[in-house]
Structure 1
Amino acid sequence: MNYTLHQLQIFERVAHYQSITKASEELHLTQPAVSIQLKNFQNQFPIPLFEVVGRRLYISDFGKEIAQAAEDVLNAADTINYKTRAIGGQLAGRLRVAVVSTGKYVMPYFLSGFMKNNPGVDLRMDVTNKTVVVENLEQNLVDFALVSVLPDHLKLERIELMPNILQLVANQRYFEKIKLGGRAKSDAVPLIFREKGSATRAAMENYIKEYDLNVQKRIELTSNEAVKQAVIAGLGCSIMPLIGLRNELQNGDLKIFPQKKLPITTTWNLVWLKSKKLSPVANELLEYLEIEKRNIITENFEWYSTFQIK
């Protein structure tokens, strides 16, 4: 056998996501490049590591064992690299962060300066819905998680980063037609929801329940970006975090629809398990955020804190 660390990394990520597409996105490789390396890696084993049924990829039991072994090898190689860098006086190690979907518009700004200051640190940031983020946190698979709603069954420490503001938004052309909770079918347009497990969906459902709104038409989509594009296209309206809508609001593709008891305001929190022993890298990030948090918000999110409904 003559597999490389690069092939081990690719297979481990494909096995983790059970998706060539998601693995290629994280590794910043094209899908054909990942597929070729995956095939070359498979050719070195007499037993299938995976199979494709329809359009879905499934990892075999043998493949799962190889993926675990690959993760162990990669971790050992990382340890060697980190120890070598540490001898030279660099902060070195891996930082693992799980981020809820909308948090992808927030977390990179709070990590960018830290990563530039510490080239010996490797970052792995998984972006998914709240349910999976909380599972990763609970199973101690990450150092930190970025959430806007705190899971109440876990004992957590946290640092508050910035507000998360949700408003009802719609396509400008459909703006005057919207009447959320309207009693006549002609008064209502569809309300577009995120998938179950999303914190944004939970906020919408709580709002609708609390004020006993009559939502006659519902559409469900599985990503914040999909919801945004659907609203821009006039497919419906949605209660969305403003943090991901800067360009669309400023250029008029979307408009905020004033509504009773809106906006919904929560807080973006970086959280970690109270029982977790943080690594030197994780502790250094917390110190960095305490010092730089206000500057980061002022520099990158001034538009957000001062945005006015027109």
Structure 2
Amino acid sequence: MDVRHLSFRLLQVYVRVVQVENISAAARQLHLTQPTVSLQLKKLSEIVGETLIVIQKQQFTLTSSGEALYRAACDVLSRFDDFNSELTELRGGRQGKLSVAIVNTAQYLMPRILGPFYQQFPNIDVTLHIANRAQILHRFEHQLDDIYLFSHPPSGEQVIAKPIVKNPLQVIAPLGHWAAGIKQIDFTALKQERFLLRELGSASRLMFESWLSSQGIELSHSMQIDSNEAIRLGVVSGLGLSVISAHTLVEGREKLAVLDVKGFPINSHWYLVRSSQRRLSHASSTLIQFIDQHLAEIVDAAWLLDSDLNAKDVKDPTSR
């Protein structure tokens, strides 16, 4: 490959196409025509000397060469974004761009962090994406963001995950439920109840079902609801019980009973996640350092981790 024929614009076009997985959509976002983008992709493929993208029956697939070029292009463009930010810093300001993607339940945590972060670094432009776990996993697999927040991180050698905050899962019931106020209830006494569960693939559901399996317990009745807020309201209304993150209970206004069940809370954590295959940008590093230094000032002490858990990054936490 003759790098003299490459240009930043070619790389920018390629990265955008890969991110949206659609040539027409990328053309609209780049304010170009679809034929122009197609020609630039063809030119880039000719420069590299390899097929980069295969599109068959509306299925968008990157070849191995295409994936390697995407990583390299992201790295090059990110480095020049940092260079521009560093020039700005030398001129007296701190500036940069940062994309953070979090699962739905983390909306109760990340805004608390970003508020004071923005006060200290007003010139760092943060974009926050909130979606369910499957959607955030998709964003991680395609490396559309700099930093991710999961309660059940993805697996793989490329995953660097650091636990930052406790995320205990509690059993909740309506205030008038017969089990409210009883100490150390055995879960088998509750298994005939209807349980309101998040969607398949959600971290809280994965952990709850894993716990049930470890106890040899099978629920008799369940109902799927794709929203923590709707689950809280459903429990208040007597629709059923649920196992939910304690963070969602702090933020909710509904009056609920947290049941004292043997084996609960199920202990879990929020993990700050990034990919080892993506270079840590200046703005990303700034946010990570800010969290390390100021988290104790932002969240309640009850959520803070023990020092041995928070000591360093770990790879593939699901293998532990």
TM (norm. structure 1) is: 0.66
Q: Distance in 1 between matches of 2:188 and 2:31?
A: 54
- The yes-or-no answer on 1:196 pairing with 2:200 is yes
Counterpart for residue 274 of structure 1: 276
Counterpart for residue 67 of structure 1: 29
CA contact (8 A) 1:95 1:143 kept: yes
- What is the CA distance between 1:265 and its match in structure 2? 0.7
Q: Deviations over 1:50-101 (max 9, x none)?
A: xxxxxxxxxx97456413548x9xx9xxx7x969955742221221111111
1:67 maps to a residue whose letter is: Q
Q: Which has the higher contact order (CA 8 A, sep 6+)?
A: 2
Q: Deviations over 1:141-191 (max 9, x none)?
A: 0101001122222522233311110011111112438985459xxx83210
CA contact (8 A) 1:160 1:267 kept: yes
TM (norm. structure 2) is: 0.65
CA contact (8 A) 1:148 1:268 kept: yes
Counterpart for residue 90 of structure 1: 93
State the secondary structure of the residue aligned to 2:177.
Answer: helix
Counterpart for residue 218 of structure 2: 214
Label 1:63 to 1:214 Cα distance change in 2 as closer, same or farther (>3 A): closer
Label 1:246 to 1:226 Cα distance change in 2 as closer, same or farther (>3 A): same
Q: Distance in 2 between matches of 1:196 and 1:290?
A: 32
Gaps of 5+ in 2: 1-15, 38-76, 305-320
Q: Distance in 1 between matches of 2:268 and 2:133?
A: 14
CA contact (8 A) 1:82 1:120 kept: no
Q: Deviations over 1:96-127 (max 9, x none)?
A: 11111111111112222111111111111111
Counterpart for residue 235 of structure 1: 239
Q: Distance in 2 between matches of 1:134 and 1:247?
A: 25
- The yes-or-no answer on 1:134 pairing with 2:96 is no
CA contact (8 A) 2:137 2:154 kept: yes
Q: Deviations over 1:120-145 (max 9, x none)?
A: 11111111122221221221101010
Label 1:158 to 1:90 Cα distance change in 2 as closer, same or farther (>3 A): farther
- What is the CA distance between 1:214 and its match in structure 2? 3.5
Structure 1 residue ranges (4+ consecutive) displaced by more than 6 angstroms after TM superposition: 81-84
Equivalenced residue count is: 238
Q: Distance in 1 between matches of 2:279 and 2:163?
A: 20
Q: Distance in 2 between matches of 1:152 and 1:293?
A: 25
State the secondary structure of the residue aligned to 1:173.
Answer: coil
Percent of matched pairs sharing the same residue: 24
1:269 maps to a residue whose letter is: Y
- What is the CA distance between 1:270 and its match in structure 2? 0.8
Q: Distance in 1 between matches of 2:274 and 2:303?
A: 26
Counterpart for residue 259 of structure 1: 261
- What is the CA distance between 1:247 and its match in structure 2? 5.3
- The yes-or-no answer on 1:143 pairing with 2:151 is no
**What is the aligned-residue RMSD (CA, Å)?**
3.4
- What is the CA distance between 1:222 and its match in structure 2? 0.8
